[in-house]
Amino acid sequence: MSRSLFVIPEKDGQALFHPPLSEYPRLVTENMASANGVKIGGESLDNLKREAHGEILRIAGEYTRSLGLEADVAYDSNAPIIASGHQPSMFHPGVAIKTMALTQAATQCGATPLFITVDHDDIDASSVNLPTIRDGRLVKTGHTLFPSARGRVMEKAGVEGWDVTRARLNSAAQLMESPRLAAPRSAMEEFIRRLDNHPPDSAPNYVELAIHLRRAWERPVNGGYLEIPVSAICRTRTFLHFADSIMEDIEKFAGVYNRRLELYRKEHGLRYPANPFPNLGKLDDSWESPFWTLSGDGRERLYVTPGGRIVTQNGSTDIPVGDIAGGGVAIRPRAITLSLYMRLMACDLFIHGVGGAKYDQVTDGIIREYYGVTPPVYGVVSATLHPEIEAEDPSTRIEGIKTRLREIEQRPEHEPELASNPLKREKEALVEAMGKPDADRKTLGVRIKELNRQMAGLLKPLADALNAELVSLGEIAREWDVKSFRDYPFFIHKPERVATCHSGHCHSEPFEGLRVNSA
């Protein structure tokens, strides 16, 4: 799939589905057959895939039920799995739509829907942005929701009690008390009421609380699906075998990994060496692995020595590579490595957002070159949704005024105020004279420039009025930027609006067929 197809939808209510959801049944069937004859770490990929499905379905079922969430999906280790995932953050509707596409696609394909919570990343935000009114103007304001979680790996982050989090949500809603913000405030109040009906009192950490918040918000429009965190996946035998096979062959794997990243940067004109991810480096004679290990509340890089030992830079870990398969160290995959495992072993079709879809072209290259397999196709789903706030988009008016100001400077004679002005008539005569073969264009050009300056001086009151209007429209434009900000958290939107986002500019189709539940 071409990277050029993966463009975030521009317009409010527009969604991207590529390929169309109607093609998913065919793609799942093709992906299920793609592992024939391939081995990973000496074991058949077909067998590993069957085992991985069974492990993940069992763990995901137990985990979902432990959260007290709906697990009313018919899952069977022989049925296909369609998966998606994201960090447990208060993400925007463009991410939230992936769970809705996930359940719809699973229904179409007779598959089990599975959502992966990427819980081993660092928390980089404890606040959300909200639209508010200040001094009569629409502005964007940050509001802290999870102060205790910041600066830790997500799976290690505790959380304040539910009563404290609820109070923070209430105070966020109060920031939108202006009548102009009635719609986003109403959406948030409905969200809080649903949480009150199913309070996440027992959520022991940030990750589980974030899952509860997501599921409460989407409950009116989305059916059940299974939840599993990456930290749980990393304890399965198949994942540990997968990691061990890479560690045992780290020099070759790192070579392919780096080569594919460099090719991707070259093909797309990316100059920054960490875009989309940095290459795997070396520490003395040891190769950096594509995995992390947990250390305290954070994580560290893992290296493989020439002697086949796994070490960290500070020496806190030093074990034989073979201990990976036995769970001798807590490892977590980097983005590309997680995608490799999910697409090759753990599911039959993965649904990415736009960012993941772009970097997974690197993953495609690794699958082809290192594993010798045709890469399983993945889906791409995203959307853009603006909060329901009255605001004017003044861009057309602004561009019109800027065009007119340029005309006043360069072609002032076109203004009606100068229709009978002698300066206009003189310029027209000079312009006609410049077209003659023997014209002194330099002298004529100097005079025309002077005439433009004189006429522009006569039009200064008009230009001043237009510039004043531009200043006024600048205030309106700043409000429009606040209104059209794409990354507001999902809970200031009603889930029904996300569920009815329409197809946009890419290979896509209307997003239909979602069930509506009682709140």
The pLDDT tens digits of the residues spanning 301-359 come to: 999 999 889 888 887 778 888 888 787 788 999 999 999 999 999 999 999 999 999 99
For the segment 486-492, the average pLDDT, to the nearest whole number, is 96
Domain harbouring 236, CATH code: 3.40.50.620
Specify whether 361 is located in the same domain as 440.
no
pLDDT band at residue 418 using 50, 70 and 90 as cut-offs = very high
Is the confidence at residue 172, as pLDDT, over 80? yes
pLDDT band at residue 444 using 50, 70 and 90 as cut-offs = very high
pLDDT band at residue 158 using 50, 70 and 90 as cut-offs = confident
Q: Is residue 48 part of a domain?
A: yes
Specify whether 177 is located in the same domain as 216.
yes
Q: Is residue 244 part of a domain?
A: yes
Is the confidence at residue 504, as pLDDT, over 60? no
Q: Say if residues 229 and 157 touch (Cβ distance below 8 Å).
A: no
CA-wise closest residue to 242 among 325, 319, 321, 320: 325
CA–CA dist 153, 355 (Å, integer): 21
**Domain of 236, in residue numbers:** 1-277+332-391+494-511
Question: What's the 3-state SS for 161-228?
Answer: CHHHHHHHHHHHHHCCCCHHHHHHHHHHHHHHHHHHHCCCCCCCCHHHHHHHHHHHHHCCCCCCCEEE
Q: Is residue 463 part of a domain?
A: yes
pLDDT band at residue 71 using 50, 70 and 90 as cut-offs = low
Specify whether 372 is located in the same domain as 440.
no
pLDDT band at residue 150 using 50, 70 and 90 as cut-offs = low
Question: Beta-carbon neighbour count of residue 430 at 10 Å?
Answer: 16
Q: pLDDT above 90 covers what percent of the chain?
A: 73
Specify whether 192 is located in the same domain as 205.
yes
Radius of gyration of the chain, Cα coordinates, nearest whole angstrom: 29
Specify whether 196 is located in the same domain as 138.
yes
Q: Is residue 409 part of a domain?
A: yes
208, two tokens: 């589980």
Residues 6 or more apart in contact with residue 335 via CB below 8 angstroms: 277, 356, 359
Type of residue numbered 275: N
CA–CA dist 91, 89 (Å, integer): 5
Q: pLDDT above 70 covers what percent of the chain?
A: 93
- 113 has which bridge partners? 82
Specify whether 463 is located in the same domain as 503.
no
Specify whether 385 is located in the same domain as 437.
no
pLDDT band at residue 519 using 50, 70 and 90 as cut-offs = very low
Q: What is the pLDDT of residues 27-57, one digit of tens each?
A: 999 998 876 678 899 999 999 999 999 999 9
Type of residue numbered 205: N
Specify whether 337 is located in the same domain as 451.
no
Q: What is the pLDDT of residues 359-396, one digit of tens each?
A: 999 999 999 999 999 999 999 999 999 999 999 999 99
Q: Please provide the DSSP assignment of 48-81 as one string.
A: HHHHHHHHHHHHHHHHHHHTT--------TTS-E
Q: Phi/psi zone of residue 355: left (φ > 0), alpha (ψ -120 to 50 degrees), beta?
A: alpha
Q: Is residue 336 part of a domain?
A: yes
Q: Say if residues 127 and 89 touch (Cβ distance below 8 Å).
A: no
Specify whether 377 is located in the same domain as 456.
no
CA–CA dist 67, 204 (Å, integer): 10
CA-wise closest residue to 131 among 484, 498, 501: 484
Peptide bond into 376 cis (omega under 30): no
Residues 6 or more apart in contact with residue 264 via CB below 8 angstroms: 270, 276, 359, 361, 362, 365
- The pLDDT score that the predictor gives to residue 156 is 81
For the segment 275-280, the average pLDDT, to the nearest whole number, is 94
Kindly state the DSSP code that residue 377 receives in the 8-state scheme.
Answer: P
Specify whether 365 is located in the same domain as 404.
no
More confident residue, 399 or 312: 399
pTM of the model: 0.89
Q: Is residue 102 part of a domain?
A: yes
Kindly state the DSSP code that residue 322 receives in the 8-state scheme.
Answer: G
For the segment 133-159, the average pLDDT, to the nearest whole number, is 84
CA–CA dist 230, 221 (Å, integer): 26
Q: Please provide the DSSP assignment of 374-428 as one string.
A: PPPP-EEEEEE---S------HHHHHHHHHHHHHHHH-GGGSGGGTT-HHHHHHH
27, two tokens: 């793609």
Is the confidence at residue 494, as pLDDT, over 60? yes
Specify whether 405 is located in the same domain as 506.
no
The number of domains in the chain is: 2
CA–CA dist 468, 243 (Å, integer): 63
Specify whether 502 is located in the same domain as 411.
no
Q: Is residue 324 part of a domain?
A: no
- The pLDDT score that the predictor gives to residue 4 is 55
- The pLDDT score that the predictor gives to residue 320 is 86
Is the confidence at residue 513, as pLDDT, over 50? no
pLDDT band at residue 511 using 50, 70 and 90 as cut-offs = very low
Q: Dihedral sign for Cα 44, 46, 51, 56, please.
A: positive
Q: What is the pLDDT of residues 9-19, one digit of tens each?
A: 889 999 999 99
Residue 466 CB burial class (10 angstroms; 0-12, 13-18, ≥19) = middle
Q: Is residue 6 part of a domain?
A: yes
